Amino acid sequence: MVCGLLQDIKASILNRTQLLVTYIKGNIYKEFPYIFIMIDKEYWKEVILDWNKKEFPVIFPRDIKVSFELNINRVFSLIGPRRAGKTYELFNIARQITEKYGKDKTFYVNFERPDLGVLNSADLVLMLKAYYELFPQNSAKKVWLFLDEIQNVQGWESFVRTCLDEGIKVFISGSSSKLLSKEVATSMAGRNLAYTILPLSFKEFLSFKKFDLKKAYSSGEKSQLLNYFEEYSKFGGYPESVLFPSEREKILKDIFDTAIFKDILERHKIRNSILLRNLIKALLSAKEFSINRFYNYLKSQQIRSSKDALYKYLGYLEDAFFVFKLNKFDLSYKKTEQSLPKVYFIDNGILTNNQIDDKGRLLENLVFLELTRRESNLSYFQNVSKEEVDFLVRNGKKVKQLIQVCHNISDYQTKDREIRPLIKASKKFKCNNLLILTNSQDEELIIEGKKLIVKSVWKWLLEN
């Protein structure tokens, strides 16, 4: 039986039919992880030359700045949720290198290509030998490798470390299900430089729409800008959904379903998909989320679960960049960790596609994502009267800024509800940088000697 199995594998190598490769990847590798397909050197040369002749796709610029000439002996890893643009950012970097040094100084390979089968680090060594045989003049020059979906190669870390030791620049990326910052940090300890790629910011969204930013706008331009902001706040910034709005609903549903299946169920071998989907449904409908309360609810509905499973599932969703938890601020670390977290989603389009149409919540989710892009150290705050400040921006334990988000504060009761906790928190934390973000209001308020800036979210999003 084993001999027959090995003959089947040998036949698949010779024939290179996608059917057999798919069979190997989907069935044999699960049962025999020690069996690998060795790609011969000539085939690697075909892959390398195909890349060398391939034209770059149309690339829309992003605000992410990755210096390909940074003189640092580390692997550059692009991490983030699937379909956020990691592969195209690799193409963008490779294009810049090509324009300056020539295409032959770069090599890109996507390890999800079915014709490559199941690979290990030895295959990568052979790949590099094939490259230098094709371009021997580059053996003593700078070379840049772009390894996409690298998680599909067993033992890739040893190959990358060797490349770094030999002065080869390496860029890696992978789906959020396999190549996360924690995993890269562990496997490439001290030799990693990570860049997070999230769905488009509003500035990037406008760039994709070919809308030019100016210091001042005509009435028609202002109207178009506000229409774009409404679209962005409702449907989010996944690049594909922005470029193909007519297919947006299908695209967002596919991203949602694929993230659940690939990043959670398949990766963590979860069998109880119903429990996971119930958890996601609860997160979509909750402002603050309590595992204990949700567990008790499931118990009342006679749905089998455990608190440990729920904590794990929530952690998996975080690791996949699907949701983010925001803890309540407290000087006590223990109290912070024990507080009920607020939950935010990776993109407003995911919320809208799941029938979340609360404008206040969509606006707050948008602000959270932008603060995350700006790498802010965030918490929310709740005083003893249960009055809340949406975001505390901190530098260590020092509060740098207090932010409230409210769709509309025209009503005096709403205005009082939003301002009162902001003033109290300002006094408590000795912070006078107070901001209220709204859908369309702009003014300055002086209350109890404190200056409060009220600003439209779209203006705030376009600030440097």
DSSP letters, 86-137, are HHHHHHHHHHHHHHHH-GGGEEEEETT-GGG-SEEHHHHHHHHHHHHHH-GG
Q: Which two tokens stand for residue 104?
A: 């032959």
Amino acid identity for residue 65 in this structure? K
pLDDT of residue 333: 67
pLDDT of residue 267: 83
pLDDT of residue 432: 96
pLDDT digits (tens, 9 = 90+) for 337-387: 677 899 999 999 999 999 999 999 999 999 999 999 999 999 999 999 999
The proportion of the chain whose per-residue pLDDT surpasses 90, expressed as a percent, equals 72
Average pLDDT over residues 225-253: 97
- pLDDT-based confidence at residue 185 (cuts at 50, 70, 90): low
Give the domains, in start order, of the chain with CATH numbers: 36-196 (3.40.50), 204-267+320-461 (no CATH)
pLDDT digits (tens, 9 = 90+) for 398-432: 999 999 999 999 998 999 999 999 999 999 999 99
Alpha helices in 390-452 (DSSP H): 412-429
- Does pLDDT of 452 surpass 90? yes
- pLDDT-based confidence at residue 239 (cuts at 50, 70, 90): very high
Do 389 and 376 contact (CB within 8 A), yes or no? no
Spatial neighbors of 6 by CB under 8 A, at least 6 apart, are 35
85: phi > 0 → left, psi -120 to 50 → alpha, else beta; which? left
Global pTM value: 0.87
pLDDT of residue 344: 97
pLDDT of residue 181: 60
Task: State the Cα–Cα distance between residues 128 and 145, nearest whole angstrom.
Answer: 9
- pLDDT-based confidence at residue 149 (cuts at 50, 70, 90): confident
pLDDT of residue 453: 97
Average pLDDT over residues 96-108: 97
The CA angle 411-414-415, to the nearest 5 degrees, is: 85
Helix, strand or coil for residue 442? coil
- Tell me which residue has tokens 């455990």: 306
How many residues are recorded in the chain?
464
pLDDT digits (tens, 9 = 90+) for 197-218: 999 999 999 999 999 999 999 9
- pLDDT-based confidence at residue 179 (cuts at 50, 70, 90): low
Amino acid identity for residue 237 in this structure? G
Amino acid identity for residue 327 in this structure? N
pLDDT digits (tens, 9 = 90+) for 249-272: 999 999 999 989 888 898 889 988
pLDDT of residue 123: 95
Helix (H) or strand (E) holding 51: helix 41-53
User: Measuring CA to CA, which residue among 46, 267, 49 is closest to residue 176?
Assistant: 267
* Buried residues in 304-321 as b, exposed as e (16+ CB within 10 A): ebeeebbeebbebbebbb
